[in-house]
Structure 1
Amino acid sequence: MNLALEFPVTDEILTSFALVIGTDLQGYRNHIYRVLNFYRALNDIQGLPSEAVQIAAGFHDLGIWTDNTLDYLPPSVALAVDYLETRQRPELIDEVSALILEHHKVRPYRFANATTVEAFRRADLIDVSLGLVRFGLPRAYIKTVQSTFPDHGFHGMLMRQSVRQFLRSPLRPLPMFRW
């Protein structure tokens, strides 16, 4: 499967939050690009994913920086909803919200927009697990995506944030996970 090297919708979102994301911008962008390429491969998509998926990808972890927290799903959804309302795209709110809220669900997602949400959840898990979880994608493809869009400290940042979260709230170390 060929790689998509540009996701203009996502890049527009990232550009508008570049100052907030700061030095983590390249790492977050590459994380998004890896997730979107894994999403494409899981769904056998030759072109770009739907606009809803690209928008959700841009916002899915953004609350880490805007709200300085690992409990970032609600703030990320709020940012995405504001974006969609500003652009008069209310028809995408439910799907984009589900994509963001459920992307760390531990069990498979089986509700509204299940096809896109479950594939997005799996794509994110492939990247967060550094390819240890593959959902049938060939290891060689995952390595190609990883080398094309290198980490640039993204996983290290997640580890630092996780340690900070644990020290702040040891009874709630990973608040972004859902059952």
Structure 2
Amino acid sequence: MKPILDFPLTDKILTSFALAIGADLQGYRNHIYRVLNFHTALNGAEGLPSEAVQIAAAFHDLGIWTDDTLDYLPPSIALATEYLDSQQRPELKDEVSALILEHHKLRRYRGAYTNSVEPFRQADLVDVSLGLVRFGLPRPFIKTVQSAFPDHGFHSMLMRLSAKQFIRSPLRPLPMFRW
């Protein structure tokens, strides 16, 4: 398995949010690229993932920067919905929203769009866990993807934000997680 090296649709979306993301842009982009590669491998697919998956990937954590919050699922969905409206793609709203809303679900996802949402949830967890959780993906493939798209401080940034959130709201330290 070779990693996919270019996701033009995702890059186009990210470019429009470059100022909001600031210094974290390369780290977030590489996180998205790792997630998209893991998603494709988990699906056993060839080529680029669906447009819905690529769009959701671009927006899935974006509220961290646009709304300065770790409770970023609602603002990320709102941004994706605005984008889909601007692109006249209302048929993708439900799937993109589900992809974003459920990507931190702690248990297996079994709702609408299971074939895209569950591998996306798994792919994000593979990346966030630095490959400790693999869902059957071969370690060499994970290492290859990680080498192709280095961290650039993404995981450190998540740890800093999580520590701030814990201090601010100890009873709700990780508001993005869902049962």
- Shorter-chain TM-score bucket reads over 0.9
Q: CA deviation at 1:3?
A: 1.1
Does the residue aligned with 2:170 lie in a helix, a strand or coil?
A: coil
The aligned runs of 1:38-77 (5 Å cut-off) are: 38-77=38-77
What count of residue pairs does the alignment treat as equivalent? 179
Q: CA deviation at 1:44?
A: 1.4
Q: Distance in 2 between matches of 1:115 and 1:105?
A: 15
1:128 corresponds to which residue?
128
Q: Distance in 2 between matches of 1:66 and 1:165?
A: 16
Query: Is 2:174 the partner of 1:178?
Result: no
The aligned runs of 1:148-167 (5 Å cut-off) are: 148-167=148-167
2:9 corresponds to which residue?
9
Residue ranges of structure 2 left out of the alignment (5+ in a row):
none
Supply the RMSD in Å over aligned alpha carbons: 0.4
Residue identity in the other structure for 1:144: T
Q: TM-score, normalised on structure 1?
A: 0.99
Residue ranges of structure 1 left out of the alignment (5+ in a row):
none
1:102 corresponds to which residue?
102
Q: Distance in 1 between matches of 2:153 and 2:15?
A: 19
Q: CA deviation at 1:16?
A: 0.1
Q: CA deviation at 1:156?
A: 0.1
Q: Distance in 1 between matches of 2:44 and 2:8?
A: 20
Q: CA deviation at 1:80?
A: 0.1
Residue identity in the other structure for 1:104: H
Q: Distance in 2 between matches of 1:167 and 1:2?
A: 41
Residue identity in the other structure for 2:44: D
Q: CA deviation at 1:46?
A: 1.3
Residue identity in the other structure for 1:132: L
Following TM superposition, the consecutive aligned residue runs of length 4 or more in structure 1 with deviations greater than 2 angstroms are none
